[in-house]
């Protein structure tokens, strides 16, 4: 190797590295475009799921909970709560809040009616059916 680092050597390293990473990025983009349509869950959206998402947003559930890794970390992850607990548990839990147990964080009672609770459960069920490539790694979120 020569004793000095020349401008042409620096240029070649820059151009070679740039070409490598551009090709790498294009390869990842191609792979993503090929895989995502197979994982698309939008076809299963119905009125109940849409209403449940609306209820989720209006009540700012993401302000305390995470959903598929996004949101606050104050309360449990809810991306797979339907598989873990079931719809009746979710509805009973929502109705029983707050429990007023000392020393525990308390979830407010949003006073949702039965139709709203059903819609929220449908939204959480739909969310649990999304192929997340095994995320979160912990079954309890």
By residue count, the chain amounts to 141
- How far apart, in whole angstroms, are the C-alpha atoms of residue 53 and residue 65? 14
Identify the helix (H) or strand (E) that includes residue 19: helix 7-39
**What does DSSP assign to residue 57?**
H
* Per-residue pLDDT at 40: 67
CATH superfamily of 44-141: Cytochrome c-like domain (1.10.760.10)
What is the residue extent of each domain of the chain? 1-39, 44-141
State mean pLDDT over 98-112: 89
* Per-residue pLDDT at 105: 86
Collapsing DSSP to helix, strand or coil, 26 comes out as: helix
State mean pLDDT over 52-69: 94
pLDDT band at 141 (very low <50, low <70, confident <90, very high): low
- How far apart, in whole angstroms, are the C-alpha atoms of residue 132 and residue 42? 14
Phi-psi region of 51 (alpha: psi -120 to 50; beta: other; left: phi over 0): alpha
């Amino acid at each position: 190797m020569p004793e000095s680092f020349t401008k042409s050597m620096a240029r070649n390293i820059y151009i070679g590295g740039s070409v490598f990473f551009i090709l790498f990025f294009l390869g990842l983009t191609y792979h993503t475009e090929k895989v995502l349509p197979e994982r698309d869950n939008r076809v299963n959206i119905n009125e109940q799921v849409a209403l449940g998402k609306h209820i989720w947003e209006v009540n700012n559930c993401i302000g305390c909970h995470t959903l598929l890794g996004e949101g606050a970390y104050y309360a449990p992850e809810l991306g797979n709560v339907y598989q873990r607990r079931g719809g009746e548990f979710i509805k009973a839990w929502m109705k029983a809040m707050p429990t007023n147990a000392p020393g525990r964080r308390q979830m407010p009672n949003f006073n949702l009616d039965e139709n709203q609770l059903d819609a929220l459960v449908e939204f959480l069920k739909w969310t649990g059916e999304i192929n997340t490539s095994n995320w979160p790694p912990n079954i309890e979120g």
